[in-house]
Amino acid sequence: MEAVRTIILSTGDKITERIKWNAPSFCYEGEDRITFNLRGKGFFQLVFHCGAKKKDRKTDNPLIDDTSGLLEWKAADRAIMEFTDENDVESKEEKLREVITKWLEVI
């Protein structure tokens, strides 16, 4: 988890961190955008979202073009990426950085 946290915080100067929903949550320009989900056994997830309140979207297409193939889409503006261990984080680091950058660009 610490490695993922470091990756997120190093992706941009405007990213801040706080605890919300009983887990680390990362804000971009004051709005929650990425939150840890720590409820799994043997894994943890990052939830990519657009804040606590649902926003009106003009399309049902996914918010970003996920060329990483690592996101599991729960809605057009909500996706999950799962990690199992340190090796898994290391193998996904480059793609995670790409997803974070794209996610924050479209918000």
Chain centre distance of CA 64: 12
Q: Which sequence spans correspond to the domains of the chain?
A: 2-106
Q: How confident is the model at residue 54 (pLDDT cuts 50, 70, 90)?
A: low
What's the rounded mean pLDDT across residues 8-32?
Answer: 91
Q: Which CATH architecture has domain 2-106?
A: 2-Layer Sandwich (3.30)
Please check the confidence at residue 57 and state whether its pLDDT lies above 70: no
pLDDT at 12: 86
Which of 56-81 are b and which e, b meaning 16 or more Cβ less than 10 Å from the residue's Cβ?
eeeeeeebbebebebbeeeeebbbeb
Least confident of 3-7, 22-26, 63-67, 91-95: 63-67
Residue of 106, 58, 64 lying closest to 81 (CA atoms) = 64
β-bridge pairing 44-48 and 31-37: antiparallel
pLDDT at 7: 96
- 11-15, 39-43, 96-100, 103-107 — most confident range: 96-100
